Amino acid sequence: MPRTAFFISDGTGITAETLGRSLLAQFESVEIRMITKPYIDDAEKAQALVNSIHATAARDGEQPIIIDTIVDENVRRIVSTAPGFKVDIFSTFLKPLEEELATHSTYTVGRTHSIGQDDVYMNRIDSVHFALDNDDGARLNQYDKADVILVGVSRCGKTPTSLYLALQFGIRAANYPLTEDDYDEDGTLKLPRALAPYRNKLFGLTIAAPRLAAIRSERRPNSRYCSMDQCMQEVAQAEALYRQMHIPYIDTTRFSIEEISTRMIAEAGLHRRFSPR
C-alpha cells in the first residue's frame, strides 16, 4: 500500500520538503504520496491540518509520515496530536545546537528563506538577470563578465542549468548553442569565433541522441530537427569538438539539473558566491 508523507512548515515549507524528499528518496521500493503544507502558522490552520491527517490515516490504513520545521510552540503542539510517524527537524537539531553554542535559538519563522543580507539577495537577482540576458548566445559582448559559458547542441539542458547556477549559487552563466552556422565547409564543427577568447570559461553539455530526439519531438514533431540521424550527427560533432579543444563536458542524459550543476562546479572549480537555500 502507498504511504503518505506530509511536509509541514509555518514558513515556506522549502526546508521541510527538501530534507523530506532527500530522506524518502532512499526508499525506492515504497510508493510515497508527498504533500507539502506551507504557512501552517496559527491554531486554526494547524487543527484543520490535523483533521486532514486523521482522514488520510483512515483512508490509507497506515499512519502518515510527518516531517516538519514548525517553529511556533503552540502550532507544533497541535500538530503533534496528529497520528503519524513524526520527524520534527527543528526540535531534533536545534536543542543540541543550543547546548553546544551555549545560547538560545531565536526561533524565527521563515528565517531560512528570507531575503536576509541585501548583498546576497541582489547578487542572486543579478546572476539570474545575467543568465537570462546571455541565453542562447544573445549577447556575445558580455562573455568577459561570465564565470562560465555553457556550450552544447540545442535542447541539451543549457538554459535550465544556467538559471539554476545563477539562482542557487550566484554563478554568472552564459550559454551558447552549437548550430549549423558553426560548421566548416567540409561539415566539421569548429569552435565558434565568439568563444575563442574565452576557452578557459567553456564547459560543454552533451546528451544521448535518443533522449535528445524525444525532447526535440515535443517542440517540433516530424521535423529534421528532431530526427535520430540529425541528433546523432550533432551530438557526435559536439563531443568531437570538446575532445579536440580539451573542453570539459558532462552527459546530461541521466542527471538532474542539481547534479549537473554541482558536478560542473566541482570539475571547473567555479566559485560559489553563496550557498543554496
| pLDDT tens digit sequence for 188-201 | 999 999 999 999 99
- Torsion angle, alpha carbons of 154, 156, 162, 164, to 10: 140
Q: Which positions make up the binding site? A: 152-159
Bridge partners, residue 251, by sequence: 206
Report, in angstroms and rounded to the nearest whole number, the Rg of the chain calculated over CA atoms: 24
CB 274 within 8 A of CB 127: no
Please give the domain boundaries of the chain with CATH numbers for all domains. 1-99 (3.40.50), 115-266 (3.40.50)
Q: CB within 8 A of 20, min separation 6: which ones? A: 5, 7, 34, 67, 87
Report d(CA 253, CA 156) in Å as an integer: 8
CB 46 within 8 A of CB 31: no
Q: Which positions make up the binding site for ADP? A: 152-159
Amino acid at 30: V
Please identify which residue in the block is written with the cell numbers 519531438.
Answer: 217
- pLDDT per residue over 170-226, tens digit each? 999 999 999 989 999 888 999 999 999 999 999 999 999 999 999 999 999 999 999
